[in-house]
Amino acid sequence: MNISAWAIRQPIPAILLFALLTLLGLHSFQRMGIQDFPDIELPVVTVTTTLEGASPSQLETDVARKIENTLATLGGVKHIRSVITDGSSLTYAEFNLEKDTSEAVNDVRDAVSRVRADLPGDIKDPIISKVTTTGRPIITFSIASAQMDEEALSWYVDNNLSKLLLAIPGVGKVDRVGGVDREIRITLNPAKLAALHVTAADVSRQIKRVEIESSGGRGDVGQVEQAIRIVGTVSSAQALAATSIPLSNGRYVRLDQIADVQDTHAERRSLALLNGKPVVGFEVTRMKGTSEVEVAAKVRAAIMQLTQHQSNLHIAEVYDGVTAVQDSYDGSMDLLYEGAILAILVVWWFLRDLRATLVAATALPLSVIPTFIGMYYFGFSLNTVTLLALALVVGILVDDAIVEIENIVRHLRMGKSPLQAALEATNEIGLAVVATTATLVAVFLPTAFMDGVAGKFFKQFGWTAALAVMASLLVARLLTPMMAAYLLKPLPAKAHESALMQRYLTLVQWCLRHRIGTSIAAAVFFFASIALIPLLPSGFVPPGDRGQTFVSLELAPGTPLALTRERAEMARLDLVSIPEIKQIYTSIGGGSGGGDLFSSGASTEVRKAKLTVSLTPRNQRSRTQQDIEAEIRQRLATIPGVRITVGSGDAGEKLQLVLSGDDANLLAVTSQLVVRDIRTLPGLGNVSSSASLLRPEIIIQPDYARAAELGVTTANLADTVRIATSGDYSAALAKLNLSERQIPIRARLPDSIRQNLDSIGQLSVPGKNGDVQLANIAHITMGSGAAQIDRLDRNRNVTIDVELNGQQLGDVFKAVEQLPSMQHLPPGVFRSDSGDAERMQELFGSFGLAMMTGVLLVYFTLVLLFHDFAQPVSILAALPLAFGGAFAALYLTGSSFSMPSLIGLLMLMGIVTKNSILLVEYAIVARRDHGMSRHDAIVDACSKRARPILMTTIAMGAGMLPIALGLGVDPSFRAPMAIAVIGGLITSTLLSLLIIPVVYTYVDDVTMILKKWTHRRNGVLR
């Protein structure tokens, strides 16, 4: 039995069904979190290894290569990347996407454990973790107080604030930026050490042996068991200064007799400034699966409550990655409402019947709300991707209802009762409605199974759109006919067709009489649209406007913290006069803020600074974020000795070019030539390279013969110099035990020792016959070494970052590839795909495959529904007509051919196919059931279905119009998509109403010829 007829005769089950679906949908909607992007787990595992003071070249040889070699033996590894800086080696193992992330982590952990014994003994155990999108902070605060010094404030953040915030559900991590750590500093007197014939290393290790708390076994005093505990610790710097320590020659000495003992703070390696004033910052990162908006709201509430109870604390929000998410959500919901209202107005304009409009309008919320049930069941969130899918289909969701209600109204105008009109009209249109929905699902669903990183994100897009379309089918087949049958009233018969319809039918008949001319015109239009593709700028993702940007400053290796602060302040003072800038937060040597989705976080080098620039809201300024960033680049170009990068680090802002090779010198020379050529391209921003970054070094080369003669080993020499200049490794330091924490005790020589080579040469090194001066057994010279080493797939590589400065990624990429230095790379140097360029190629390939799959699925679906292999071809003939309009609209508006426009093209495939189905299906039914001739059936189909096609097209365009006009939320991503859809809708609708009838006749001619040939062949065989 026809399900629509059943719903009309038995309305109560349908009403109860949708009441239940609405309640469940609203419940699911409330339980879904609001996020920026979906939480995804890519099979990328990081191995972090640290060795304090080790040079990058040493870590490359002793650590990185060994870890890379063992990771290369694992199955499914796609790329291995390493970033080696002073004291740290970070290796990424990127697996194929089908690899389970947990399995990848276990495989990496096992591989690293196999080479752990081959790594230097002094390194900390490697930290193995997986990369997720939740790895960057969602919000950053600064804190200052007039009643606490910097060390006390830093401890307050580490202890009190961290405990408070980590107790909030959803907060995963709290990291301090800037501030200082408390430390007991023992500044040894070199002259007194020399008189006692001891070294700084001897003192440091003796303190470690004295200042210790240890277990001592068990006692049985008084027939009761007691644990024996040796407590050799003190509780203050004064008590430590009065402690006597034994020396290696059998003597002993009080610590304050040979050293100055101070309760102070560790050497400063990071700094945070808010509008030029020192503060302590802290970053909050959420847990995977939680809502950014909800977590941030709870964090802000906790901070507000804290400041109310402690008025001496001044806490300011300096980075906000959540407001843009909330604005995007609010804007997306507003666009949904606006699109729905415009679509409903279109229905009323055509039907001029409030009751019929009400029936059609009911379809929209009752299609969207049940969609949330499936989204919640699949674990989706309300994020950019899912809201984009809903915004795209808002016009489609009312389409099926429009087709149903328009057909019912047409039958009412034949003089039928509402009940009879609903029964006959829904039966007549049923196959077309099912076919259009099936084709839309066939178009959208393949995006959920795309390859690559894009596929991980668009899984939620494909399923959300498909679920919404299927919900709209349920509404159109159950609720719309039932409501029409009981709400509509009989209508007077329509006297005659409108003048516009008569002109259209005349034009259709002319096209049918001049099929060749019509076909040639269609072919010309198609090839002209193809010719537009090279004229379109190609990109990955248009840069957004989130009201915040970052200015990264990089000074020469070896630059001290004070100079970095001076340059950062120069940059800040140059920018404060820009009227759109509200505040500037500076972090030096730490702090990540925003940045690339898969970035490893901020560098801890004191020569690097990052300015977080907060802008006024987008609706309160006339310039875009990209215009402001261009002015920032221009203003900062005069700061001497600084590499400057401007941008939020999101996709679409820079081109990343990676050159790899075994020969480090050849690689450096080649990269310099490429950078020089890239800088000749007009309109680009800053161009920076990771090559040619050499840090100054003091190189101590032992005289092996002399050292051996005096009984000095290189290990003893290294320990002596390291402890004398910076203290022992953190893990080897003695600790001062307090009630809530341990304070490291660091013994070293005064800072003056580090300021000239002669002082370093006078350091005493223990030998077999007593102490030996370092200068007597080693050559001390000034030199240089790599400040950072980048490796890709076990080769050295150089990364060249090119700021696009508003230009399109694809265009810049093509221009770079044509440069002479890139065309003639020397043997042994090759280019590797990386960054946005790699993701753009991957995206285009995945979307191309998804579109081809969608076309095939649409064809198969139509064959199954129509039981015909030929006529689905005439339906699909409208696809080329849509692309031309989309390309033309993109070209006229200056939009790029990028991810959003690809999404628009994907959506067009479904809409255009739907329009063709309405025409062809009625022509087939008219010939089969009413015995019409081919010509009359086509004309009758155009007469009956032109209005619903126009209604659905205009409703769809109206739903997209606010997005295309850039109203409300940041339009950078959504606008190109809406422009492509509207442009394609205009041309495809106008042309398909004329050309599809012609294509239908050609396909029918071919079918008749094949049938005659088959009959003739069968007759010959018989």
**Distance between CA atoms of residues 635 and 406, nearest Å:** 61
624 lies in the same domain as 723: no
Structural domains counted in the chain: 4
Per-residue pLDDT at 1: 46
Most confident range, picked from 170-179, 320-329, 334-343, 354-363: 170-179
Phi, psi angles (nearest 5°) of residue 629: -65, -35
As a whole number, mean pLDDT of residues 296-302 equals 93
Q: Give pLDDT tens digits for 978-1019.
A: 888 888 888 888 888 888 899 889 888 888 888 788 777 666
Collapse the DSSP code of 125 into the 3-class scheme (helix H, G, I; strand E, B; otherwise coil) and give the result: coil
Query: Does 153 map to a domain?
Result: no
Most confident range, picked from 570-584, 758-772, 1006-1020: 570-584
pLDDT above 90 for 347: no
State the virtual CA torsion across 481, 484, 485, 490 in degrees, nearest 10.
-140
Positive or negative: CA dihedral 860, 866, 868, 872: negative
Per-residue pLDDT at 968: 65
DSSP string over 869-938: SSHHHHHHTTHHHHHHHHHHHHHHHT--BSHHHHHHHHHHHHHHHHHHHHHHHHHHHHHHHH---HHHHH
824 lies in the same domain as 878: no
Q: Minimum mean pLDDT among 70-79, 140-149, 614-623: which range?
A: 614-623
Neighbours of 827 (CB within 10 A): 8
1007 lies in the same domain as 906: yes
pLDDT above 90 for 21: yes
Percent of the chain predicted with pLDDT > 70 = 95
CB 31 within 8 A of CB 376: yes
CB 858 within 8 A of CB 442: yes
pLDDT above 70 for 791: yes
Per-residue pLDDT at 108: 93
As a whole number, mean pLDDT of residues 403-423 equals 85
The CA R_g of the chain, rounded to the nearest whole Å, is 36
Q: Minimum mean pLDDT among 495-499, 649-653, 774-778: which range?
A: 649-653
pLDDT above 80 for 886: yes
**Distance between CA atoms of residues 862 and 874, nearest Å:** 11
Residue 598: band (very low, low, confident or very high) from pLDDT cuts 50, 70, 90: very low
Residue 895: band (very low, low, confident or very high) from pLDDT cuts 50, 70, 90: confident
CA distances from 134 to 36, 131, 292, 383, 839 (A): 10, 8, 10, 14, 20
CB 914 within 8 A of CB 986: no
**Distance between CA atoms of residues 972 and 405, nearest Å:** 36
704 lies in the same domain as 579: no
660 lies in the same domain as 743: no
663 lies in the same domain as 799: yes
Which DSSP helix (H) or strand (E) runs through 526? Answer: helix 515-532
Collapse the DSSP code of 281 into the 3-class scheme (helix H, G, I; strand E, B; otherwise coil) and give the result: strand
pLDDT above 70 for 496: no
As a whole number, mean pLDDT of residues 628-650 equals 84
* Structure tokens given for 932: 């019409």
pLDDT above 60 for 594: no
**Distance between CA atoms of residues 881 and 830, nearest Å:** 42
Q: Which of 90, 111, 130 is the last residue of a domain?
A: 130
Per-residue pLDDT at 78: 87
If 0-12 CB within 10 Å is exposed, 13-18 middle and 19+ buried, where does residue 267 land?
A: middle
Residue 955: band (very low, low, confident or very high) from pLDDT cuts 50, 70, 90: confident
**Distance between CA atoms of residues 106 and 126, nearest Å:** 14
CATH of the domain at 820: 3.30.70.1430
Which residues fall within 8 angstroms of residue 61, CB to CB, at 6 or more apart?
none
Percent of the chain predicted with pLDDT > 90 = 14
Query: Does 448 map to a domain?
Result: no
522 lies in the same domain as 552: no
**Distance between CA atoms of residues 804 and 655, nearest Å:** 7
690 lies in the same domain as 556: yes
Q: Which of 99, 130, 161 is the last residue of a domain?
A: 130
If you average pLDDT over every residue of the chain, what do you get?
84
Query: Does 176 map to a domain?
Result: no
Per-residue pLDDT at 596: 40
CB 582 within 8 A of CB 618: no
794 lies in the same domain as 891: no
Query: Does 163 map to a domain?
Result: no
Per-residue pLDDT at 593: 47
CATH of the domain at 995: 1.20.1640.10
674 lies in the same domain as 817: yes
Per-residue pLDDT at 299: 94
Amino acid at 402: I
As a whole number, mean pLDDT of residues 843-857 equals 80
Range of the structural domain that residue 919 is part of: 496-535+868-1021
825 lies in the same domain as 906: no
pLDDT above 90 for 818: no
Q: Give pLDDT tens digits for 105-143.
A: 999 999 999 999 898 888 888 999 887 656 678 899 999
Pairing state of beta strands 778-786 and 694-702?
antiparallel
Closest residue by Cα to residue 74 from 51, 50, 99, 48: 99
Per-residue pLDDT at 68: 93
* Structure tokens given for 323: 């407001």
Query: Does 452 map to a domain?
Result: no
As a whole number of Å, the end-to-end CA separation of the chain is: 42
Query: Does 907 map to a domain?
Result: yes
Q: Give pLDDT tens digits for 189-228.
A: 988 888 888 888 888 888 888 888 888 788 888 888 888 8
pLDDT above 50 for 388: yes
Per-residue pLDDT at 494: 64
Q: Which of 823, 839, 855 is the last residue of a domain?
A: 839
* Structure tokens given for 650: 């999101």
As a whole number, mean pLDDT of residues 335-342 equals 76
CATH of the domain at 203: 3.30.2090.10
As a whole number, mean pLDDT of residues 798-806 equals 80
Query: Does 10 map to a domain?
Result: no
**Distance between CA atoms of residues 95 and 100, nearest Å:** 9
CB 780 within 8 A of CB 700: yes
Amino acid at 664: A
Q: Give pLDDT tens digits for 604-620.
A: 688 889 998 988 888 78
As a whole number, mean pLDDT of residues 787-804 equals 84
Closest residue by Cα to residue 566 from 646, 643, 640: 640
Helix axes 354-377, 11-31, angle to 10 degrees: 50
71 lies in the same domain as 54: yes
As a whole number, mean pLDDT of residues 48-76 equals 90
Per-residue pLDDT at 112: 93
Phi, psi angles (nearest 5°) of residue 137: -65, 150
pLDDT above 70 for 592: no
CA distances from 769 to 554, 704, 710, 712, 776 (A): 48, 17, 7, 10, 14
Q: Please tell me the pTM assigned to this model.
A: 0.80
Query: Does 65 map to a domain?
Result: yes
User: Quick one: DSSP state of residue 656?
Assistant: E
Positive or negative: CA dihedral 670, 676, 678, 684: positive
